[in-house]
Chains A and B, each alone.
Chain A
Amino acid sequence: MEIGLLLTIGKYLFVALLYVFIAVVFRTLILHIATAQRPVAQHGGQPAQRPVIERDSGQSPPEPSQPKLEAKEAAAEPPQVARLLVVETSAANLSAGTSFPLSKSISIGRKSHNDLSLDDRYVSATHTLIVQQDNSFILRDYHSTNGTVYNGVRIQDDVALSDGDEITIGTTTFRYQH
């Protein structure tokens, strides 16, 4: 009698465990899909940003470490400077319409030590370099996992940037203006 009861419990337990497994997989799957659509920002743990390149857009998000002084300097720069305009982004610390003046070689990546840091899980620690050469800039992928996309093509070698080029890094698309 008791053994029979035990067996019955065991029988349902087996199937129940199977479904628990399936439920866990489902949950992970849904989580994956949710992350893929809208990379979740990790607030709080992020160290303070110190952008060497300054933002000069009106609608920059409220970033506590945003140096206002530098932003003013940016406004004073000559108009013929090269710029990176954010066309589209899901990075938590960036918004579309922001633009950055380029005055020297910069690094772009997820970590805060970069000149331009993108709070985006699809971006590698140091993802891309934009290297100044004379009066122009060169785009160079820094062994990033998800690649740097230049005008729709993932780049292997250096690419010289010219006006209107689109650069995609993670979920962010920049337009290069010169």
Chain B
Amino acid sequence: MVIVAAATGKPLGWAMRGLTPAGVLLVAVVLMDLVEARRDRLLLPLCGMLCVLSIVFLTRTDAFLATRQLIAIIIGIFLMVALYFLIEDIRSLARFKYLAGLSAIALLAATMLWGREINGARLWLSIPHLVTFQSGEVAKILMAIFLAGYAADYRQMLGRRGRGRISIQTPSLRSLAPLLLIVISCLAIFVGQHDLGTAILFFGLFVTMFYLATGQPAYGIAAVALFAVGLALAYQLFPQVGVRISSWLNPWADPSGIGYQPLQAMFCLGEGGILGAGLGHLSVTNLPAAAPDMILVVIGQDLGLVGSVGVVIIYALISVRSYSLAWQATDRFASLLAAALATVFALQTLIIMGGVLRLIPLTGMTTPFLSYGGTSIVINFLAVGLLLAVSRDCVPQPEKAR
């Protein structure tokens, strides 16, 4: 943890602000250690490091947003600790799987009906005088709990093998019905809201969970086919999908319109070069949506290839760590839950990084822990809280830390 605190250094004012989340996290860790020190020791420092970078680079792009982000981080850490202590045994969470699945659907449906529009997308649900949050983010965690609980229970039914070598005996409709109902309605809502990035994320989560629960590659193959069909349909049905794809394939066709953002991102990354232009050396005012979508580009410009690769390594380490928790967990539900959370995290990072680097079309998704977005930060911390609870309850660990 000390390393997190030591990891900021340049223009001193920003660095000082960057240290705040590290300090808060340190307090949280000490608090958690006072009760019980047996849990994963790497996830929190890694996430803390991302938060520090987040605050530093948000301060550099937009100081007002950085303050709000800082508040979100502190709330997130607080809620994470609360959740961690509230869950006495992560396995007991399996009981709430249907509640979690249904409330995810309810949340999304409520957003579709009464949601608040911000920047032309109705993804926000607001409880008057209390909070406004992005329901898709909340649904991610609820969905992970539901899928893990369901897959742990119905493993046999989903995975019965047929006679042929590849053929799967279709599971009985009764065992599949609740799953399909929730999955399809969830995807339908996202598509209905034109939030296709999140739809892809959830689709990836469903497919991964199906595969992990059954161990049958046939599901994966079927999913790829389904994905292709879905993409073709979306391309025909929704004009903005076509816009996204053409701005990805050929940004020069309209350099001041739809191609503006991807082109500016490329220019910024190019200015960064290998070693970077230096923190705050160049302006990023002409980079649209820098704080929510393009924070990685800002890092790429300031710290260059070297710095960005460092950030990518941190993301890789968090993913590896989460998957290894899933691998080691002794309980099936806990294992699947960790895998689901890891998948959401890794997939989301992959989609946004690919988008920023123009490897795949850009979708408006948050970069976990790094980009501006209150709900995203809080939810990611809650996910880490769940992972820590998994590591505490179900992963064999050395009795003494050192």
Interface residues of A (CB under 8 A from B): 7-8, 10-15, 17-22, 24-26, 28-29, 32, 35-36, 39, 110, 121-125, 145-147, 154
User: Chain B nearest CB: distance from A136 CB in Å?
Assistant: 28
Assess whether B7 is in contact with A110, with CB atoms less than 8 Å apart.
no
B49 contact set on A, CB distance < 8 A: 18, 21
Can you identify 9 A-B contacts, CB atoms within 8 angstroms?
A13-B10, A15-B303, A18-B303, A20-B3, A22-B310, A29-B320, A36-B328, A145-B38, A146-B397
User: Chain A nearest CB: distance from B4 CB in Å?
Assistant: 7
Number of interface residues of B (CB under 8 A): 38
User: Chain B nearest CB: distance from A8 CB in Å?
Assistant: 7
The answer to whether residues A122 and B399 also contact, given A14-B279, A17-B7 and a CB cut-off of 8 A, is yes
Q: Does B317 contact A (CB under 8 A)?
A: yes
Measured between alpha carbons, how far is A13 from B9 in the docked complex, in Å?
7
* Interface core residue of B3, B4, B11, B45 (most chain A CB under 10 Å): B3
B window 17-43: CB within 8 A of A? 38, 41-42
A124 contact set on B, CB distance < 8 A: 399
Closest partner residue, chain B, to A16 (CB atom): B9
Q: Does B8 contact A (CB under 8 A)?
A: yes
| Interface of A (DSSP majority class) | helix
Measured between alpha carbons, how far is A3 from B342 in the docked complex, in Å?
44
Known contacts A14-B279, A18-B53, A21-B45; can you find 13 more A-B pairs with CB under 8 A? A7-B10, A10-B279, A15-B310, A18-B307, A18-B311, A21-B6, A26-B317, A28-B41, A35-B398, A39-B398, A125-B399, A146-B397, A154-B330
Closest partner residue, chain A, to B278 (CB atom): A11
The answer to whether residues A121 and B10 also contact, given A7-B278, A11-B278 and a CB cut-off of 8 A, is no
Measured between alpha carbons, how far is A36 from B391 in the docked complex, in Å?
14
Measured between alpha carbons, how far is A35 from B38 in the docked complex, in Å?
15
User: Chain A nearest CB: distance from B290 CB in Å?
Assistant: 19
Assess whether A11 is in contact with B400, with CB atoms less than 8 Å apart.
no
Interface residues of B (CB under 8 A from A): 3-4, 6-11, 38, 41-42, 45-46, 49, 53, 275-276, 278-279, 281, 303-304, 306-307, 310-311, 313-314, 317, 320-321, 328, 330, 396-400
Assess whether B9 is in contact with A147, with CB atoms less than 8 Å apart.
no
Assess whether B42 is in contact with A11, with CB atoms less than 8 Å apart.
no
Assess whether A19 is in contact with B310, with CB atoms less than 8 Å apart.
yes
User: Chain B nearest CB: distance from A12 CB in Å?
Assistant: 8
User: Chain B nearest CB: distance from A163 CB in Å?
Assistant: 26
The answer to whether residues A21 and B317 also contact, given A11-B10, A14-B279 and a CB cut-off of 8 A, is no
Assess whether A17 is in contact with B9, with CB atoms less than 8 Å apart.
yes
Assess whether B46 is in contact with A25, with CB atoms less than 8 Å apart.
yes
Measured between alpha carbons, how far is A17 from B321 in the docked complex, in Å?
21
A8 contact set on B, CB distance < 8 A: 278
The answer to whether residues A25 and B398 also contact, given A10-B10, A18-B7 and a CB cut-off of 8 A, is no
Assess whether A17 is in contact with B303, with CB atoms less than 8 Å apart.
no
Measured between alpha carbons, how far is A158 from B42 in the docked complex, in Å?
36
* Interface core residue of B41, B46, B310, B400 (most chain A CB under 10 Å): B310
Assess whether B398 is in contact with A14, with CB atoms less than 8 Å apart.
no
Assess whether B314 is in contact with A14, with CB atoms less than 8 Å apart.
no
The answer to whether residues A121 and B313 also contact, given A10-B9, A18-B7 and a CB cut-off of 8 A, is no
The 7 lowest CB-CB distance pairs between A and B, nearest first, are: A121-B398, A11-B278, A146-B396, A18-B310, A10-B10, A17-B7, A21-B3
A125 contact set on B, CB distance < 8 A: 399
The answer to whether residues A29 and B42 also contact, given A14-B279, A39-B398, A121-B398 and a CB cut-off of 8 A, is yes
B41 contact set on A, CB distance < 8 A: 28
* Interface core residue of B313, B317, B396, B399 (most chain A CB under 10 Å): B399
A15, A25, A146: the one within 8 Å of B45 (CB): A25
User: Chain A nearest CB: distance from B139 CB in Å?
Assistant: 31
